[in-house]
Amino acid sequence: MGLSIAQKIISEHLIEGEMIPGSEIAIRIDHTLTQDATGTLAYLQFEAMGVPRVRTKRSVSYVDHNTLQTGPENADDHAYLQSVAAKYGIYFSRPGNGICHQVHLERFAVPGETLLGSDSHTPTAGGIGMLGIGAGGLDVAAAMAGEPFYLPMPRICLVRLVGTLPKWVSAKDVILELLRILSVKGGVGKIIEYGGKGVESLSVTDRATIANMGAELGATSSIFPSDEITRRFMSAQQRSSEWREIHADADAQYDQVIEINLDKLEPMIARPHMPDNVCRVVEVEGTKVDQVAIGSCTNSSLRDLMVVASILRGKTVHPKVSLVVSPGSRQVLEMIARNGALADLIRAGARILECACGPCIGMGQAPRTNGVSIRTFNRNFEGRSGTKSAQVYLASPETAAACALFGEITDPRKLGDLPVLQIPEEYSVDDSMIVAPSERPESVEIVRGPNIKPLPEAEPLPESLRGHILLKVGDNITTDHIMPAGSKVLPLRSNIPAISEYVFSTIDPDFSKRAKQYGGGFILAGENYGQGSSREHAALAPMYLGVRAVIAKSFARIHRQNLVNFGILPLLLVDATDYDRLEQLDEIEICDVAKALREGNAYLRVVSRTHGQVINVRHDLSRRERDVVLAGGRLNYIRNTQR
Ligand code: MIC
Ligand code: SF4
């Protein structure tokens, strides 16, 4: 039987297990990436593993999230990251050099290889035919230490693209359409693989836009073929020697096939407050707009910024709209500066921000109260922009530029003739802001600022768990709900005791106080608990507050793994309707839980001490994961197995 692209890459990297969907496999990791908001923890964990030098082919540490620097904390973290990188053999991409996924695509990604990143949008590298997977920092640290990455073998979903995109419709509209079809949980447990003739009309950065937002489907990864277009992109980046052709076999089998006819696609938009709340732009036309934000790892390539600049050339943004632009990388910024597109943006009234995540993660540019913000980003979760009442929409650069001009949601097809773009044959290549690791690592001193606190230690799992349901939440709770980001909280990423004060603060400001008062307890949740960001703080900070299990209808992949990594038991309701039989503050007991994990029993009984009822739950942990939870987390587990 023929293989798909993802199956080929997995089989070339398979260390343990069989490629049977759902069963645990272990794969070798070639590249890792970290960013500064997750990187400090990842490297603290890496240091705790006692490995002298990274064992990957290439590891890169990016600084792109915490660049607002409203106090010393971020800069302290950056200094720590730079010193760790120098000592342990990691490339360090300096602040201002760009967003990790964009820079990795430009300068490092290699078709056919594997990339594990402590950021959920790591699958962006799928645009070049690399298998990129997002994970918690601890998994990335383990990969740097030479450990394989464990995951359930994903099912493969082929998205066959036919036709070509009409005028004013672009890559973002393709992925928004897929989100409309599949929803934010439609990709869980799957790799989304793209094929069909339509792929040939998409550039590498278009493909990266689509692969990037596969994270919003909950997919494990997304991947495109590596073809002549890929070769040309890599050659323009002076990296043609790293190119390799990869296609799916003609007789490859897929678990699911979806066809999207590009000819029929229209400009699409995701309405507040979920990336799958998608409709056609025409359906919301006329809505007044206060802010337009162009950038993020989804849509900040040279092509995207040039499209926006050419739409705005010779015009002025609407007087009621604040237009902010954050280029994806220094390469993009330098090139638009040289070709005049930056001048067009400035003349049109754009506020130019640095090459970083910026407003995407609430680091500045929070919209006004009840403000409508149209963003080319990938997430519009409530409050993520920094303004709880803001109405954030997600759209293509073309649609965003049209909105900026007209001051209301506008279908870009109203703009008339499509601008003709001159994308150069050669990109401007300058890696001077990427610092190579030290050749004398023994002489490098690690710099630790006062905000970098030691990692909290987890205890092995007790025989039984007893406590209160500290919080009951509904479906699709994001890690932004569990552990908010933004300019106030992000500087605390290296300080778990301090950041734990903010756990669930946007849902229930008293959560952390209550957790402490009850000495820990449980969370009860609906479907797809923990979707979104890979931040392991969403597991580590609850662990610090004494949360020992989460009972849910289903979990998102990365967060489930992070829970296991920090010794929190992810439990599934056997009968989803039992969700209604448990309430916040009920006192429950999960009996003989450690024995059940040791003996491999998947089913457990939750006894409600408040109502006397018994509810059946189960876990879907592999043998290894059971041992990790029993040990009180992966760090303890690694230490135990090293002894
Ligand atoms: C995000 O887009 O939510 C982030 C910020 O990039 C996160 C990582 C983090 O929380 O630091 C992600 O996507 O994993
Ligand atoms: Fe940065 Fe936003 Fe991309 Fe996350 S989604 S990596 S915050 S640009």
Residues 186-210 pLDDT 10s:
999 999 999 999 999 999 999 999 9
Assigned CATH for 465-642 = 3.20.19.10
Contact 220 CB / ligand 2 (< 6 Å): no
Q: What is the mean pLDDT of the chain?
A: 97
Q: Of residues 13, 65, 121, 634, which has the active-site annotation? A: 65
The pLDDT value given to residue 420: 87
pLDDT of 479 over the 70 cut? yes
Which ligand 2 atom sits closest to the C-alpha of 35?
6
Q: Domain segments of the chain: what residues?
A: 5-264, 277-413, 465-642
Q: Of residues 303, 330, 535, 548, which has the active-site annotation? A: 535
Do 5-264 and 277-413 come out as alike in CATH topology? yes
Q: How far apart are CA 195 and CA 62, in angstroms?
A: 31
pLDDT of 122 over the 90 cut? yes
5-264 maps to CATH 3.30.499.10? yes
For atom 4 of ligand 1, the residue with the nearest CA is 533
User: To the nearest whole percent, how much of the chain has pLDDT over 70?
Assistant: 100
Q: Which residue among 100, 124, 360, 384 is best mutated to probe the pocket of ligand 2, counting the most ligand atoms within 8 A of its Cβ?
A: 360
Q: How far apart are CA 555 and CA 527, in angstroms?
A: 7
Average pLDDT (138-158) is 98
SS3 content of the chain, % helix, strand, coil (to 5): 35, 20, 45
Which residues share a beta bridge with 62? 93
Chain centroid to Cα 339, Å, comes to 32
Residues 85-99 pLDDT 10s:
999 999 999 999 999
For atom 6 of ligand 1, the residue with the nearest CA is 119
**Catalytic residue flag (residue 206):** no
DSSP 155: E
Which ligand 1 atom sits closest to the C-alpha of 535?
10
Measured CA distances, 232 to 211, 227, 236, 442, 558 (Å): 19, 9, 6, 41, 33
Which of 435, 494, 466, 470 has its CA nearest to residue 591?
466
What contacts 486, CB < 8 A, 6 or more positions away?
A: 361, 362, 363, 384, 386
**Separation of CA 360 and ligand 2 centre (Å):** 6
Residues 64-74 pLDDT 10s:
999 999 999 99
Average pLDDT (457-486) is 96
Average pLDDT (215-243) is 98
- The answer to whether 267 and 399 are in contact (CB under 8 A) is yes
Return the beta strands (E) in 28-112 as ranges. Answer: 31-34, 58-62, 91-93
What contacts 210, CB < 8 A, 6 or more positions away?
A: 127, 171, 174, 175, 178, 194, 202, 222, 224
Average pLDDT (159-165) is 98
Q: Using 50, 70 and 90 to split pLDDT, how confident is the model at 34?
A: very high
Residues 174-185 pLDDT 10s:
999 999 999 999
Return the beta strands (E) in 441-515 as ranges. Answer: 465-472
Average pLDDT (493-508) is 96
Structure tokens at 557: 């992949």
pLDDT of 267 over the 90 cut? yes
**Catalytic residue flag (residue 119):** yes
**Helices of type H across 313-381:** 330-339, 341-348
Which of 348, 350, 359 has its CA nearest to residue 324?
350
Which of 177, 151, 264 has its CA nearest to residue 561?
151
Average pLDDT (332-359) is 98
- The answer to whether 627 and 24 are in contact (CB under 8 A) is no
Give DSSP secondary structure letters for 235-265: HHTT-GGG---B---TTB--SEEEEEEGGG-
Residues with CB under 6 A from ligand 1: 37-38, 65, 119-121, 134, 361, 485, 532-535
Contact 357 CB / ligand 2 (< 6 Å): yes
The pLDDT value given to residue 1: 84
| Pairing outcome for strands 322-325 and 351-352 | parallel
Average pLDDT (232-255) is 98
Residue reference for tokens 């082919």: 57
Backbone phi, then psi, for 365, in 5-degree steps? 60, 35
pLDDT of 627 over the 70 cut? yes
- The answer to whether 489 and 542 are in contact (CB under 8 A) is no
Give the side-chain half-sphere CA count within 13 A for 101. Answer: 36
**Catalytic residue flag (residue 65):** yes
558-568 burial by CB neighbour count: b if 16+ within 10 A, else e?
bbbbbbbbbbb
Helix (H) or strand (E) holding 156: strand 155-162
**Separation of CA 244 and ligand 1 centre (Å):** 30
What sign results for the dihedral spanned by CA atoms 7, 10, 14, 17?
negative
For atom 2 of ligand 2, the residue with the nearest CA is 360
Which of 395, 403, 478 has its CA nearest to residue 176?
395
Higher-scoring residue by pLDDT: 154, 423 = 154
**Helices of type H across 267-390:** 302-312, 330-339, 341-348
The pLDDT value given to residue 458: 87
Helix (H) or strand (E) holding 589: strand 587-590
**Catalytic residue flag (residue 107):** no
Average pLDDT (279-302) is 98
Which residues share a beta bridge with 524? 472, 551
The pLDDT value given to residue 643: 59
pLDDT of 233 over the 70 cut? yes
User: To the nearest whole percent, how much of the chain has pLDDT over 90?
Assistant: 97
Q: Which ligand is nearest to the CA of 77?
A: 1
277-413 maps to CATH 1.20.210.10? no
**Catalytic residue flag (residue 160):** no
Residues 411-445 pLDDT 10s:
999 999 988 888 899 999 999 999 999 999 999 99
pLDDT of 615 over the 90 cut? yes
- The answer to whether 499 and 493 are in contact (CB under 8 A) is yes
pTM: 0.98
Residues 354-396 pLDDT 10s:
999 999 999 999 999 999 999 999 999 999 999 999 999 999 9
Chain centroid to Cα 561, Å, comes to 14
Structure tokens at 235: 């050659």
Residue 95 burial by Cβ neighbours in a 10 Å radius (0-12, 13-18, 19+)? buried
Q: How far apart are CA 383 and CA 366, in angstroms?
A: 9
